Amino acid sequence: MARRFVRLLDAAPGGSWRDIGCGTGAVTRAVLDLAEPESVVGIDPSAGYVQYARRNITDARARFVLADAVNLPFADATASVAVSGLVLNFVPDAPRAAAEMTRAVRPGGLVGAYVWDFEEGGMEAIRAFWDAASALDPAARDLDEAVRFPLCGRAPLRELLVGAGLEDVEVEAIGVPTRFSGFDDYWEPFLGGQGPAPAYVASLPRERRVELRERLRSALPRAADGSIPLHARAWAARGRRTA
């Protein structure tokens, strides 16, 4: 998805990039591979992610800094492009994060962000999860990302960038196939405890977890070879800082 997004941005080669909420560095990696940047600085408030990104991305053009999206450690108008992948819905003050990204880029610079499409269920692996969980447990409805993250829709994402004062704001759907080799391949990531759905699984007593797992096993589509062919869609937005 990060690669789709970077291609969609179509930024001029060169320039200094900022990757806000870089996590393990997926977006930074895509920028390095596809956008010919002069430099990329990734920031994230999680020390573990920053350490991981530093260890795994050793390209001399990239560096990683511990910081929060609402208080970026960058001087005004010093970057060419600021991007953020699958992050802004986790930031309690997303308008402030968007304003910070805008502040960090030069006049005429690009700000881009993408979030999963929870609004229309385009992130099918997660939609299937919450459909099954809510059918078994009405309390799960409030934990569903579609409810918790109203930013994850076309219009709210657009409004966020427009609200930050960006111009020429465009939002597009970008998608990738997410084919799981079998049920275990789909289910195992939900056992990691991190993120809304895995945290919900971790909160369930063993019998309820088994019930949920078996409901999902029978609900998910199957291809003839036993794989689970799903699709993931995100809303990708870009805008320009007024020149």
Kindly tell me which of 35 and 91 has the beta carbon lying closer to ligand SAM.
Answer: 91
Identify which of 89, 145, 88, 92 has the alpha carbon closest to the alpha carbon of residue 120.
145
Identify which of 5, 4, 12 has the alpha carbon closest to the alpha carbon of residue 37.
12
Q: How far apart are CA 65 and CA 47, in angstroms?
A: 9
Please report whether residue 198 would count as binding ligand SAM according to CB under 6 A: no
Joined together, the tokens standing for residue 52 give 């991981």
Kindly tell me which of 44 and 124 has the beta carbon lying closer to ligand SAM.
Answer: 44
Among 3, 4, 8, 46, binds ligand SAM (CB under 6 A): 46
Shortest CB 166 distance to ligand SAM, Å: 19
Shortest CB 83 distance to ligand SAM, Å: 9
Shortest CB 19 distance to ligand SAM, Å: 7
Shortest CB 173 distance to ligand SAM, Å: 17
Q: How far apart are CA 39 and CA 5, in angstroms?
A: 18
Strand 167-180 vs strand 228-240: parallel, antiparallel, or unpaired? antiparallel
Identify which of 214, 123, 229 has the alpha carbon closest to the alpha carbon of residue 182.
229
79 forms bridges with which residues in the sheet? 105
Among 35, 79, 81, 91, binds ligand SAM (CB under 6 A): 91
Identify which of 109, 121, 118, 140 has the alpha carbon closest to the alpha carbon of residue 209.
140
CA torsion angle 73 79 81 85 (round to 10): -10
Residues 51-80 close enough to bind ligand SAM by CB under 6 A: 68-69
Residues 26-45 close enough to bind ligand SAM by CB under 6 A: 26-27, 44-45
Question: SS3 for 33?
Answer: helix
Please report whether residue 2 would count as binding ligand SAM according to CB under 6 A: yes
Q: What is the phi/psi pair of residue 71, to 5°?
A: -150, 75
Binding region for ligand SAM (CB under 6 A) out of 14-22, 141-149, 168-176, 197-205: 14-22
Joined together, the tokens standing for residue 196 give 């809304």
Please report whether residue 152 would count as binding ligand SAM according to CB under 6 A: no
Shortest CB 26 distance to ligand SAM, Å: 4
Please report whether residue 17 would count as binding ligand SAM according to CB under 6 A: no
Task: Indicate the residue whose CB is closest to ligand SAM.
Answer: 23
The residues binding ligand SAM (CB under 6 A) are 2, 20-24, 26-27, 44-46, 49, 68-69, 85-87, 90-91
